[in-house]
Structure 1
Amino acid sequence: MIAPPATVMLVAGEPSGDDRGAGLALALKARLGSSLRLVGVGGPRMAEAGIPSLFDMSEISVFGLLEGLLAIPRVRRRAQDVAEAVVRERADLVVLIDSWGFSWMAARAIRRKAPQARLVKYVAPQVWATRPGRAKSLAGLVDHLMVINSFEPPYFEAWGLPTTFVGNPALHMDFSACDPSAFRARHGIAPTAPVLLVLPGSRPGEVQRLLPPFEDAIRRLKADHPTLQVVLPVAEAVSGAVRAAVAGWPFRVHVIVGEPEKLEAMKAADLALACSGTVTLEVAQAGVPMVVAYRLGAVTHFLARFIIRTPWVVLFNIAARRFVAPELIQGDCTGPRLAAELDRRLRDPVFSRAQAAAQDEALDTMGRGGPDPSEAAARVVSEVLSGDQPRLSTGT
């Protein structure tokens, strides 16, 4: 049993992890109160929850083979910085959230410098889709794993890693305070104008690769749908790059910032063009049909063809085992292809409503409606912290 006050470090490497870290921080404070001290690495959401970041989270937010290789020296240095902070802050437990590459480096560095600290991984590597060997690697590094998909525990328990399904926070979005009419009025959007929600990703590489085909697609759409309004919620980590890029587009874009505005935009939208990722679950919960797109770097895509074991990349498509929402990946992610899929949904309301209903059904299959994931994760962290769960031998 660790005597209070305990110090817990939360480490997130990208915006989705920042969201999960903020939820976990608030749930831990509610559960442990004054017996808890929180430190860590994150973004604006975690800062609002009382955890100022040790360094800028964007330094470790990388995706793709080439981008990852180029970032290795910087990411390795930041992993060492985290390990040194664990020692300096005398952290009793560290939660490494998502971001497999950085989490793996940080976990190894922490094991060397602070072997007494307990390690919990929050969000598992997708070993069911690619690189199953990561399950064994993770089992040798952390004391406990919290997964967000109900089918994941057996992949890791087979290697002796205690694993708990806590649910996906993205399946527990609260739209109750949203007022789509008020959103339209604030942004000068007519009540009957079709609204396209554009979500180009939260990583710099995603934005750089997706904005050009997105612009081309929207330009084509607006030629046939001149009243179409374009709303683009922007993540703070890429806000500068996104604003600079869309400033040159030949049509108006309503760029919005902040979680409340993003949720209202989702409820006000008729259709979405979304980067593959957690945001697709949020859009689906808002009841909005979508077209999903993604582009990897050329080298990463070439290698991915040999290691990815599922035909789908969107989680609710995987749950439904079919293309509920179309996935236009790599060579299919072009302006004409995106525009054609979006145009079909704008012209056929019956088809759009059927897709939204199928998305909703897939979310139920994924476990929507269960216990609050942040509270479930806080319970697991509290149990590991108190010693109610066995810890990994420091000899690993």
Structure 2
Amino acid sequence: MSLTDRAAAARAPTSGKGGPTGGRDDLRIFLVAGEHSGDALGGKLMHALNARCKGRIHYLGVGGEQMEAAGLASQFPLSDVAVMGPLSILPRLPRIISRVHRTVDAAVAAEPDAVVIIDAPEFTHPIAKRIRKRAPSIPIIDYVSPSVWAWRPGRARKMRPYVDHVMGLLPFEPAAHQRLGGPPCTYVGHPLIEKVDWMHAVDAAGLAERLQLDPGRLTLVVLPGSRASEVTRLMQPFGEALELLQQRRVRPQVIIPVVPHVRPLVERHMQSWTVTPHLVEGEEDKFAAFRLAHAALAASGTVTLELALAGTPMVVAYKVDGIAAQLRFLLNVQSVVLANLVLGENAFPELLQEDCTPVKLADALELLLRETPERQAQVTALARIPHKMLIEGSSPSAEAANIVLDYAVNGLRPGR
């Protein structure tokens, strides 16, 4: 019997507590997101679940606009808990603690067939621990693995008592959890892979025309980050590296994709640059810029996967404050670049902290802006990344829905 058939059977009335939903005529799934990126993942997961069970699932929990649009009755606004950084969290800590307890009470009272916590481990994992303690028979699935493969690897083993399954976004995460003694983990696929065809279909020529780019010159895309701290630390060395390239007669046209909340900061730092870049906003223009670019200079982060899937050679850089820099010995990976981790090799240069200098950045970029063996090696590596990340015949949301339905219908089973 397929999972869809079993889900239908679970919705059928039963007597007593013998049925898979204890006599209820629906499936109840309790979802908890703690930030807006989790809300986006949760919304897609719910749409996939509804497609499998024709919408006959009752959703409860915590989420934002996208999850509510898919059918969630949120316990409170996501903005109550969607805060980032210690300085932002501390003033709201009493409210966040209150929301944790309120969410646990709601989950236990709902007697759901499964609980899905979505990313934001500082918020969602305390909730999962408390649900497990009070209602140990409810399956708990973690959608998005914490970065146990990068730092604090002991978290993997500590998750095992209260997380029954991890749905990983990166292909190396199942092996990492197995190695570290974590819960069972399945690679369901990164949401970016659903955009690959769209990335390659964006109107790059239209953007080039709007920006009046010279077709006879190379184009470089520069990505100083989406956080104010990243922009503040990276714009100066990035600008000085571009000046050095000019002095070496390497003079690419520069495009900077920006998000609205840091645009004024980017513009302020640009005033000291000797190069005048084009600023663009929005997903479509960002990926069009990637398609136009001969190379990219990027802050480390998810954008390296975006560049990789778009096929853009890159130099990756990052700088943190002095205190964070002293904690680098805690890192448990050979690279901080996600594209490198997906490949399992350091194909893309990373210039971090004291190595993030104008000279080193310019040297690395020059190799990519000319026809060199280094550039060709990156082009070859980029061609392998989609094959590493794609899910054959499915999508991340559908794969995640399969796992959630399996636990919701069949419950916890020995030996999972």
Task: For 2:223 and 2:213, locate their aligned partners in 1 and report how far apart those are by CA, in whole Å.
Answer: 19
Letter matched to residue 253 of structure 2? L
Task: For 1:43 and 1:265, locate their aligned partners in 2 and report how far apart those are by CA, in whole Å.
Answer: 30
Match status 1:211 vs 2:229: no
Name structure 1 gaps, 5 residues minimum.
63-67
Q: Which residue of 2 aligns with 1:263?
A: 287
Task: For 2:116 and 2:384, locate their aligned partners in 1 and report how far apart those are by CA, in whole Å.
Answer: 32
Rg (Cα) greater in structure: 2
Letter matched to residue 264 of structure 1? A
Match of 2:99 among 56, 81, 97: 81
- Do 1:149 and 1:165's aligned partners in 2 also have CA atoms closer than 8 Å? yes
Q: Which residue of 2 aligns with 1:299?
A: 323
Q: Which residue of 1 aligns with 2:188?
A: 166
Letter matched to residue 380 of structure 1? I
Match of 1:282 among 290, 303, 306: 306
Report SS of the residue matched to 2:213: coil
Task: For 1:332 and 1:205, locate their aligned partners in 2 and report how far apart those are by CA, in whole Å.
Answer: 18
For residues 3-25 of structure 1, the C-alpha deviation after alignment (integer angstroms, 9 at most, x for no partner) is 4263542415364x455344323
**Worse-superposed segment, 268-277 or 193-202:** 193-202
Q: How does 1:307-322 map to 2 (within 5 A)?
A: 307-322=330-345
- Do 1:181 and 1:191's aligned partners in 2 also have CA atoms closer than 8 Å? no
- Do 1:84 and 1:113's aligned partners in 2 also have CA atoms closer than 8 Å? no
Match of 1:230 among 246, 255, 263: 255
- Do 2:115 and 2:138's aligned partners in 1 also have CA atoms closer than 8 Å? yes
**Worse-superposed segment, 152-161 or 28-37:** 152-161
Letter matched to residue 168 of structure 1? H
Match status 1:194 vs 2:253: no
- Do 2:255 and 2:280's aligned partners in 1 also have CA atoms closer than 8 Å? no
Q: Which residue of 2 aligns with 1:65?
A: none
Report SS of the residue matched to 2:96: helix
Q: Which residue of 2 aligns with 1:125?
A: 146
Q: How does 1:1-396 map to 2 (within 5 A)?
A: 1-2=20-21, 3=24, 4=26, 6-13=28-35, 15=37, 17=38, 19-38=40-59, 54-56=77-79, 59-62=82-85, 68=86, 71=89, 74=92, 77-78=95-96, 80-85=98-103, 87-88=105-106, 90=110, 92=112, 93-108=114-129, 118-153=139-174, 155-156=176-177, 159=181, 161-172=183-194, 173-174=196-197, 175-222=199-246, 224-234=249-259, 239-250=260-271, 251-305=275-329, 307-348=330-371, 351-364=374-387, 366-370=388-392, 371-390=394-413
> Normalized against structure 2, the TM-score is what?
0.76
1:382 offset after TM fit, Å? 1.8
The alignment-based identity, stated in percent, is 33
Letter matched to residue 325 of structure 1? F
Letter matched to residue 304 of structure 1? R
1:391 offset after TM fit, Å? 9.8
- Do 1:280 and 1:314's aligned partners in 2 also have CA atoms closer than 8 Å? yes
State the Cα RMSD in Å. Answer: 3.6
- Do 2:228 and 2:265's aligned partners in 1 also have CA atoms closer than 8 Å? no
Task: For 1:202 and 1:12, locate their aligned partners in 2 and report how far apart those are by CA, in whole Å.
Answer: 19
For residues 183-205 of structure 1, the C-alpha deviation after alignment (integer angstroms, 9 at most, x for no partner) is 21233333344322222334444
Give the direction of change, closer, same or farther, for the CA distance of 1:249–1:321 in structure 2 (3 Å limit): same
Task: For 1:162 and 1:41, locate their aligned partners in 2 and report how far apart those are by CA, in whole Å.
Answer: 25
Task: For 1:345 and 1:281, locate their aligned partners in 2 and report how far apart those are by CA, in whole Å.
Answer: 18
Task: For 1:308 and 1:101, locate their aligned partners in 2 and report how far apart those are by CA, in whole Å.
Answer: 19
- Do 1:8 and 1:36's aligned partners in 2 also have CA atoms closer than 8 Å? no
Task: For 2:177 and 2:53, locate their aligned partners in 1 and report how far apart those are by CA, in whole Å.
Answer: 28
For residues 112-165 of structure 1, the C-alpha deviation after alignment (integer angstroms, 9 at most, x for no partner) is 788776432112233333322111211122232112344433554575734322
Letter matched to residue 99 of structure 1? A
Give the direction of change, closer, same or farther, for the CA distance of 1:177–1:197 in structure 2 (3 Å limit): same
Report SS of the residue matched to 2:201: coil
- Do 1:121 and 1:142's aligned partners in 2 also have CA atoms closer than 8 Å? yes
Letter matched to residue 359 of structure 2? P
Letter matched to residue 316 of structure 1? A
1:284 offset after TM fit, Å? 0.9
- Do 2:80 and 2:95's aligned partners in 1 also have CA atoms closer than 8 Å? no
Letter matched to residue 230 of structure 1? I
Task: For 2:288 and 2:64, locate their aligned partners in 1 and report how far apart those are by CA, in whole Å.
Answer: 22
Task: For 1:81 and 1:123, locate their aligned partners in 2 and report how far apart those are by CA, in whole Å.
Answer: 21
Task: For 1:335 and 1:190, locate their aligned partners in 2 and report how far apart those are by CA, in whole Å.
Answer: 26
- Do 1:79 and 1:105's aligned partners in 2 also have CA atoms closer than 8 Å? no
1:358 offset after TM fit, Å? 1.5
Report SS of the residue matched to 2:327: helix
Letter matched to residue 323 of structure 2? V
For residues 267-294 of structure 1, the C-alpha deviation after alignment (integer angstroms, 9 at most, x for no partner) is 2222111222222112111111001112
Task: For 1:193 and 1:42, locate their aligned partners in 2 and report how far apart those are by CA, in whole Å.
Answer: 46
Give the direction of change, closer, same or farther, for the CA distance of 1:22–1:83 in structure 2 (3 Å limit): same
1:389 offset after TM fit, Å? 4.1
Give the direction of change, closer, same or farther, for the CA distance of 1:259–1:312 in structure 2 (3 Å limit): same
